[in-house]
A and B are shown apart, each in its own frame.
Chain A
Amino acid sequence: MDALPPPPVDRTTPPSAGPIRLFRFPHFLRTRLANGLAVLAARHSELPLVSLELLMPAGGQYDPEGQSGLSSLTASVLDEGTRQRSAMEIAAAAERLGGYFATGADWDVGFLSTGLLARNRTAAFELLADVTFHPTFPAEEVERLQRQRVAEILRRTQDPSALADDRFLRVLYEGTAYAHPLIGEEESLTALDREALVSFYQRHYGLAGAALIAVGDFDPEALLREAESAFSTAGPAAAPVPPPEIRPPSRPGISVHIVDRAGAAQTELRMGHPSVSRSHPDYPSLVVLNGLLGGKFTSRINLNLRERHGYTYGASSRFSGRMGPGPFTVNAAVATESTGAAAREVLFELRRIREALVEPEELTETQSYLVGVFPYTMQTIGDLAKRLETLAVFGLPDDYYTRHLERITNVTREDVLDVARRHIDPEHVAIVAVGPAEALEPQLTGLGPVSVWSAQGEPQLV
């Protein structure tokens, strides 16, 4: 049977939308066990998978002066041996359950996480509790990971992107825990020993300040009972450690920092300055501001640097959203001969956004992007876990994401101008460029005082 020909389409204007189906943030359970452990759990039963994660107040921000890399190394040794299992037995157990076991630290928290087939959830709890409560920090494993990480640090000195990030943080945060890469530095890392790790673990890995994030194919009420029995003790620490105060040094004006890579094919560019905490009340407005300025393909910075000038494959900006005053960063890899021009275009955009109200269409396009894209960022078990982590780490209320879209929609042009003036500071940006110093220096001279560094971090004569 022949079907009727479809009705003709009008190609000359974008088609109108169908009836909208609203997105609702999934239901989740949030409670606190008697031992202080916060639990956030949500069912996600599209696929037979489960993700369990413990977050501890043990991130890089807690690294003591001279001991950068301590939090990250401590986390990484947790799954290298317990009273019952060797490092290889832990890895093999997780893999047999159809998944992985990982530990690590970001700036805010240390984490232990496992993702595996849902039918193996009970075994996963047992493994997670064993690694959390009974790590033995075997001396030979500590030393092995120290050697591996020293080699990793050496490797970073050949990676232009890592060189740019490291120099940028050092310039912005000199004298604070944020100044060093999470992995640490060779000197601080080699000076650490088993005792330092055990003592960090004792202070930071108690359940009183911790959160369990569980997402997957399970009944949240049943999961809560399992968590209660698996994590019935409080762990090592008596009380949670409050996060340290990070005070970035003030800088007199724009400064230029070149890391020399003679013969490099391209230049890695970072521009920015310290900004505010993820918990700052302006954060929703900053999300809108950043979306418009450099947070999406059609943002001002990318359209300028990539689509108008062809200087780069892509340019973007972001507020990093840490507990402390994380950086605002503009990020691009640019053709070396265009580095000076690209840096000036970025400065132009940072100044322009503070000078006049944004166009009404720019704002509504950015808002409808941020609202419309939200369900897209909520598809996987990991996506949902990430949102619950944010609630837990930054102490945000249960209805935060339910109200988030409304807050985004309510931001006005005046709000954008206001937060741009208060939170974008083009006259104090640090400009970091990793590439051939000989070609870069003449292009960047005139923007601010120029310093030149070797890939190994030695100051060079200009």
Chain B
Amino acid sequence: MSSAPPDLDLPFQYHRLANGLRVVLYRNAALPLVAVNLWYHVGSKNERPGRTGFAHLFEHMLFQGSEHVVTHDHFRLLQQVGGVANGSTWYDRTNYYETLPSHQLDLGLWLESDRMGFFLPALTQENLDTQRDVVMNERRQRIENQPYGQAGERLHELLYAADHPYHWPVIGYMEDIAAANLEDVRAFFATYYTPSNAVLTLAGDFDPEAALERVEAWFGEIPAGPPVPPVIVPPATQKGERREVMPDAVRLPRVYVGFRAPAYGERSWYAADMLSAVLTGGKSSPLYRDLVYDRQIAQDVGASVSPYEKGGTFMLVATARPGVEVEIVENALLDHLAAAATTPPAPDELERARNRMLTDAYSSLQKLDSVADLFSQFATYFDDPAGVATEAGRYLRIAPEELVELAATHLTEDERVVVQVVPREAD
């Protein structure tokens, strides 16, 4: 099969208001829906040690009302018209989104512009206290009460120095969450929640000219805000492998092998992601076949590459079968990495990975909220919304030799971090 880049037809408009707000308009009238998606270019990497988890706690606060929207009305008003809404916080960004029946577009614009421009008057200590409790329960639910839940956190702590902005977890440390106060909320809002630090995408059934006018009407009067302070990223200093054994309430040992990877958007990032797809993407992939199917030393195996702005992570993870020493599983992973650093994937392995990747790319365009999120992402990181349509082609143009080069330069012993999660003695 040829690997010609797929022809994705995603016509969009890209505008910048006088206050710096960037606006992407993508019309698709297949259903009477519109997705409103707002990215603020702030995440946990804008925090500092000792004050972690703040970007995420702030996201919760932004659902607690604004000057013209009383507490709980944000969700209530959206849900009563059939809207679906949420937000999420990541290392590099925070997003807020709602998908509405298309005739309710103005409702979404009103709610988002009110919390961008008129948030502080509604801020109360009582709401902060409740959301701090909610977030501490979220941390317990997602991290502390999950088997292997703290391994990813530990891997980042070992990959990145204590003053590196990817060192700490997005949700933050418990004591930092507990210490957040109203003054922090005010300062964070003034610094980062400005039109010039945001991208607004509308995707769905609307008239672009009329929609742009509505966006201008709701958002145009909000002041641009000061420039965002730069994030300092200290250079990596690791020389030699780092490893740690974490006892946990688990029955099966699991091993994580991590490396620092190229930054999202670089050509070599796509090589890293293709390599992870070749190695573990599907039952016929070499790692699944070897570890899970043939030798049956692992219960599962996976690889992932994080799309971080300032440099990603490449991670392999495998869970040992009962009675199998975790070292045996780890060695098998390392053997495959060593092979990847010398031998390019077989043509049929690469073809399978490319075809799956193409299906995944198409699938991610099926929902308006995910299309809108992709447009916001490419506008926020690269000032290039067209990336939504061209990214699949960037994957397909990666040559097999680039996978070898990526493995040989980035996935080496000196750059390696290994975390083994093993059953605690008492369990």
Contacts and interface: CB of A to CB of B under 8 A. Distances in A.
Interface of A: 3, 5-9, 11-23, 46-49, 87-88, 91-92, 95-100, 115-117, 144, 147-148, 150-152, 154-155, 157-160, 261, 263-266, 268, 296-298, 303, 306-313, 333-335, 364-365, 368-376, 378-382
Given A11-B110, A158-B251, A311-B137, A91 B283 contact: yes
Contacts of A19: 103
A7 B210 CA distance: 12
B366 A263 contact: no
Nearest to A148: B299
B137 A378 contact: no
Interface residues of B, number: 83
A376 B118 contact: no
Q: Which among A7, A9, A311 has the highest number of chain B CB atoms within 10 Å?
A: A9
Contacts of B205: 21
A91 B68 CA distance: 55
A20 B101 contact: yes
Contacts of B299: 148, 151-152, 155
20 contacts: A3-B216, A17-B106, A18-B104, A21-B102, A23-B31, A23-B32, A92-B284, A96-B355, A144-B296, A154-B251, A265-B140, A297-B79, A298-B72, A312-B141, A335-B136, A368-B82, A373-B83, A375-B32, A376-B99, A378-B31
Main secondary structure of the interface of B (DSSP, over half): helix
B33 A376 contact: yes
A97 B203 CA distance: 30
Nearest to A382: B366
Contact of A147 (B75, B80, B296): B296
Interface in B69-93: 72, 75-77, 79-84
A92 B32 CA distance: 39
B355 A117 contact: yes
Interface string B202-242: 00010000000110111010000000000000000000000
A91 B82 CA distance: 40
B251 to A, nearest CB: 5
A75 to B, nearest CB: 15
B130 interface: yes
A115 B137 contact: no
Contacts, number: 228
Contacts of A97: 355
A144 B291 CA distance: 13
A313 B356 contact: no
Contacts of B140: 265-266, 333, 335
A313 B322 contact: no
A259 to B, nearest CB: 13
A187 B75 CA distance: 47
A155 B358 contact: no
Contacts of A365: 76, 79-80
B367 interface: yes
Contacts of B296: 144, 147-148
Nearest to B362: A47
Given A5-B220, A16-B106, A96-B355, 12 more contacts: A11-B68, A17-B103, A17-B107, A21-B32, A21-B205, A49-B362, A99-B359, A298-B80, A306-B134, A312-B134, A372-B81, A373-B84
A151 B137 contact: no
Contacts of B265: none
A46 B129 CA distance: 46
B128 to A, nearest CB: 11
A310 B133 contact: yes
Q: Which 6 A-B pairs have the closest CB atoms?
A: A372-B82, A310-B133, A98-B355, A265-B144, A91-B283, A6-B217
A333 B283 contact: no
B352 interface: yes
Nearest to A100: B282
Contact of B321 (A87, A151, A312, A375): A151
Given A96-B348, A298-B72, A365-B79, A91 B282 contact: yes
